[in-house]
Amino acid sequence: TDGAFILGLAHVLFKYNLIDWEFLKEYTNAPWLVIQAPGTPKDGLFYRNEEGKPMVFDKKSNSFKPADRIVPDDLDPAFIGEFETPEGYKVRPAFDIFAERIVKDYTPEKVEKITGIPAETIERIAKELGVTALYNPIELPIEWTDVWGRKHKKMVGRPVSFHIMRGIASHTNGYQTARAVFVLMMLLGCVDRPGGHLAKPPYPKHIEDLPKPKKIKSLDELAFGKPYGPHLGIPQSPDDLLVDEKGNPLRIDRAYSWEFPIAAHGCIQNVIPAAYQKDPYDIEVLIIYMANMAWNSSQNIPYIIEALTAKDASGNYIIPKIITIDAFYSEMVAYSDLVLPDTTYLEQWFALSLLDRPPSVASGPVDAIRQPIVEPRDSKGEKLDVLPWGEVMVRLGTKLGLPGFVNEDGTPKYKDWKDFLINWQPQPGVGALAGWRGKNGDKHFVGEPNPKQLEMYAKNKGFFYYPLPEHMRYYRYANKDYLEWAKSVKFVKRTDPIIMNFYVETLQRFRLAGQGLWEGENQPPNDPAIRERLVRYFDPLPFWYPPFEEEVSGKDYPLYAFTKRPQWMYHSWDSQNAWLRQISTRNYLYMNPKTAKKLGIKHLDWVWVESRIGKVKCQVFLTECTEPNSVWTWNAIGKMAGAWGLKPEAEEGHQGFLLNHVIPHSIRMNGREFYYGDPITGHLAWFDTKVRVYKAEDQTPETYPEFKIEPLPYIKERWVDVLRYKP
């Protein structure tokens, strides 16, 4: 219900005029005019002039003006009202549409009924946010120049900030809730300003300039040795989707299809179920890299194991071959035909690159390396015959003659993985690492490859940090000096202001497609469930709707159940770590004592946790730190007996448990089965599962269901009774 709470705060801010109107005017599209023409292809799109520029209504001249002239011409754009254009369109500012919504639908009293948060608390928090942001600003005596050439003697900040991650995103209403948070930040004017939410370089960027999926209409267009382009990106319209002529998905995970159009990270959780169902097609080989998809990284594990082991009528595996790259004997490894053993991050060279997910800080870009500090050895000190995946990738790419790994004459481009990290360039002068480029290491960000680059990183404790000058650390969406510098180092392609999307026109394009009004090339299939999904959820302004599971599970399953990542483990790694096993070899189901009392459950009872797809037996731990309507546990402490180099009798396989067994992998809506995720992004809804919990009649201290695998012979040989460090 976070989205409803956020929109309730927005209601109060509007009610008391606690809004940074200047920020909305100059840096967002909140005053841009939206066409009101239901039933036509232009409905909900921005009103544009003949040059294609979005328009505003200027109250000073009482006329329509291009939005990009707001600052240069000192316009006073309307935020409220309805106007008629010379062409006869009715238009309203985007903010006006949003204001009507929050005034009508998100009063504190209505939000209280949704969230359980008292109306007076919602009003108090909103006032605290607004008053702090607008009447207690931070002022830094730093001169800066905006993209329009105006000189400012100081930087004014709004000391209110927000941080959101999976707690917001991992719901079937996650995208619109995240949108609500960022709209709230725009209302308060606290984006990339002192005291507010700060971007980390290489961001911010112009969304329009980010890569889009390389469009194809059939998998037959793909050919060996001819790289076609990225199969991921940020679609701007239905025409950017990866679908065939009939609108069917081209990616097996359904990312960038009509089911999950804006799937920025793909939908890996859908791959195994889709391959099992042979929908949209069957596969020959499944390759998994460092993802434990047979266990804690999937939902409905009994179904996933069925998918991995199922055979057809001829006795052949439905998923014929599985290749896994992993550093440990994970559950996924156990179900694989071929395993490429990887090294850990302490045993390999690697780049934490600005091209991927860098460790940057708000004050400047940062990238880093990993470097081997130990050789791969087993618990007996014997050297292991393993290679880092990067090294394997370079060798395979070279042997296969892939264009990215060989020269025109067929000779290898790279000697090894280290050589790849130094010399690979996606564009001239830009490589995996930004620091110490140029033949002599005297250039940063853009420059020729430096043969000694990794050595220079190592001498600098493994990282590169470029502290931005103070006058370039804020307002980076409209900071002239920053944007010119960012363009020079190829972070951005242009120096125009980066206007924030208060209103997301891209979503309206998908909504029009659902209504049969999109005039582009790609059209959704004639499937009422998909079309209704596009119309209902692709709203260009944030709104709240109940998670899908509420409609399916109802009152039969009154509690929410979710998993959290333990701070002392990385995903499922580290149960084999002698030091970390001292923290936990098992996990519990955490429940509020008040909830337990109602259910007749006592501390450390064994209980059943049942959802609409199955049930799991585990031990309960009562704590006031748990919200009464929820239960939760740590993820991936419970293991499959025989995996991870642990002895089969280890607690992880018998007292530890996995909640994923009861998390659905799909949901039926409007007569059609969909994979379990946000309808816009496909982000997996980890936190939407509804369950009932009851005391188990059999209090035998053992979890259910249990899955077992046979430890590999060479792992058995390395078992020791006591794990200890041997210098």
Q: What is the pLDDT of residue 205?
A: 96
Structure tokens given for 190? 């606290």
Closest by CA to 468, choosing from 368, 369, 356, 360, is: 360
Question: In the chain, what are the domain boundaries?
Answer: 2-204+497-537, 350-467, 548-717
Structural fold of domain 2-204+497-537: Dimethylsulfoxide Reductase; domain 2 (3.40.228)
Q: Rounded to whole angstroms, how far apart are CA atoms 244 and 219?
A: 9
**Residues 6 or more apart in contact with residue 211 via CB below 8 angstroms:** 230, 232, 233, 234
Tens digit of each residue's pLDDT (9 = 90 or more) over 647-673: 889 999 999 999 999 999 999 998 899
**Which residues of the chain are modeled with pLDDT < 50?**
none
Closest by CA to 421, choosing from 486, 468, 377, 356, is: 356
Closest by CA to 136, choosing from 93, 185, 189, is: 189
Q: What is the pLDDT of residue 702?
A: 92
Q: What is the pLDDT of residue 726?
A: 58
Q: What is the pLDDT of residue 724?
A: 65
Structure tokens given for 573? 């790694």
Tens digit of each residue's pLDDT (9 = 90 or more) over 18-28: 999 999 999 99
E strands within 417-554?
463-465
What are the φ and ψ backbone dihedral angles of 153, each rounded to 5 degrees?
Answer: -80, -15
Half-sphere exposure (CA, 13 Å, Cβ side) for 628? 7
Q: What is the pLDDT of residue 725?
A: 59
Alpha helices in 47-206 (DSSP H): 94-105, 108-115, 119-135, 166-169, 174-188
- Rg (Cα) of the chain, in Å, rounded? 28
Q: Which CATH architecture group holds 548-717?
A: Beta Barrel (2.40)
Helical axes 2-15 vs 94-105, angle rounded to 10°: 110
Q: Rounded to whole angstroms, how far apart are CA atoms 595 and 624?
A: 10
